[in-house]
Amino acid sequence: MHEDESGKFTFTVGKLGDAGMAILIGERASLIEFPSVLLPRGVSLGSVVEIRVMRNEDQEQKKREEFLHLQDDILQMYGVQSPSPPVLHLRNVTQTTLTIEWEPLQIAHADLLSLDVLRNGERIAKVPQPLSTTSTKLSGLSINTEYAIQLVMYTSAGTYVSDEVCTKTRTLDDMSGVHVCLGSIHEPRLADATKALVEAMGAHWSSKIELETTHLLCTTLPAANDEGQHKIYEKAQLLSLPIVQPHWLFACHDAKRMVPISAYYLDMTAPNAAQVQDHLNAAHVAKADDVHEAVAVPHSDNDDAAPQAAKAEAAAAPEAAAPEAAAPEAAAPEAAAPEAAALEAAAPQAELAADTSATGEAAAGHPATDEAADEPSHADAAAAPPAEAHEAQDTQDPAPEGETSLEADMENIDLNDP
């Protein structure tokens, strides 16, 4: 091996190996292995070759900068952003199940290993496909029992635990957690009554199966050409949901608590089938009566206008009668003046006659009776208003409200009253 000032080295080819490596012999019997593909074409044993070695500082600086950038990227990816603990929520609670949901997992650039569910501190299940699943249902719980639920997320960056969600399963008389799906119910009256009953009990109904669905209500199997109901029925079977008749809900309402479902499967006759049918018939009859009354007694805006017009006519009648009644009233004092003078002249004579009669009866030993003492004088009777006439007028059939005529008002006016 010989090196000159230009940085070249001289070697003699000692062997050309089959493995792609050549043996080069330098001065002082120094041996090096050199790739055969880098030797000039036509080289054979004993050929002398020159190899030049130089340092490329520009490439060295470029590689150094690339390495520093790679370190920054690794720091930003794994050193700044890190996974976050799961955020857990309670979705629904029934007597024996809990439905929980959580927000999408934030794992940054770490790898998700598993997502486990803890119940009262014990692992009970592993969530399948945790990156795409955001909810699950826990079943087989005890009635009216408290539970604490947590999520544990295992990642390549560490373990992250959610906050505890504490709840209590419902009692048998609390139906607010029931979510039913209405399936093949061919009788419209039964379907409508079931919807109304579900809402009255504080439960929930839907036309499709959801995660919180607890029962599928139907009266028959889906028809062969009803693809939608077939999918609902198959999904209920896949999720192991109870498939019962709507009569089960009526039984729960009557008992005011949740009753067993064993007597209300599709292949059985519901114990309360007759009572439910009577309820539907009674509701149908009541609705028909309401419709009949609404048709027999129609109500329109003209019905309200007629009484208002009659009241307006009655209010205007006394005003119209006032000018006509004024003239007789004005003439009444003149006509009554001679009559009053005659009555005043006859009054002493009547009193004298009364005294004489009383004296004669006392002398004969017959005291005057209370009827004679209470009997009014002729003058008083003449001056008294005709009360009997008014009473007779009052006992007659009263005119309809708002239809009092002007003649009736004139008859009620006493022309002899000064």
Given a contact cutoff of 8 angstroms between Cβ atoms, the answer to whether 215 and 181 are in contact is: yes
Residue 272 falls inside a structural domain: yes
Residue 329 falls inside a structural domain: yes
Residues 184, 164: one domain? Answer: no
Residue 164 falls inside a structural domain: yes
Residues 201, 264: one domain? Answer: yes
Cα–Cα distance for residue pair 35/204, rounded to 1 Å: 79
Cα–Cα distance for residue pair 149/146, rounded to 1 Å: 10
Residue 75 falls inside a structural domain: no
Residue 345 falls inside a structural domain: yes
The total number of structural domains that make up the chain: 4
Residue 49 falls inside a structural domain: yes
Residue 150 falls inside a structural domain: yes
Residue 158 — φ and ψ, nearest 5°?
140, -175
pTM of the model as a whole: 0.53
Digitized pLDDT (tens) for each residue of the chain, 418 residues in all? 555 556 688 889 988 877 788 998 988 778 888 898 888 888 888 999 988 888 889 999 999 999 999 999 888 877 788 899 999 999 999 999 999 999 999 998 889 999 999 999 999 999 999 999 999 999 999 999 999 999 999 999 899 999 999 999 999 999 999 999 999 998 999 999 999 999 999 999 999 999 999 999 999 999 999 999 999 999 999 999 999 999 999 999 999 999 999 999 999 999 999 999 999 999 877 766 665 565 554 554 445 544 554 555 555 544 444 444 444 344 444 444 444 444 444 444 444 333 434 334 433 344 443 433 344 444 343 344 444 434 434 434 444 444 433 343 444 444 444 3
Residue 315 falls inside a structural domain: no
Given a contact cutoff of 8 angstroms between Cβ atoms, the answer to whether 137 and 124 are in contact is: no
Residues 344, 371: one domain? Answer: yes
DSSP structure class, residue 78: I
Residue 377: C-alpha distances to residues 116, 353, 414 (Å): 114, 11, 21
Residues 159, 251: one domain? Answer: no
| Domain stop point among 168, 193, 208 | 168
Residues 150, 183: one domain? Answer: no
Residues 107, 211: one domain? Answer: no
Which CATH number fits the domain that encloses residue 277?
3.40.50.10190
| Domain stop point among 295, 314, 341 | 295
**How many CA atoms are closer than 13 Å to the CA of 67, on its beta-carbon side?**
6
| Domain stop point among 168, 200, 221 | 168
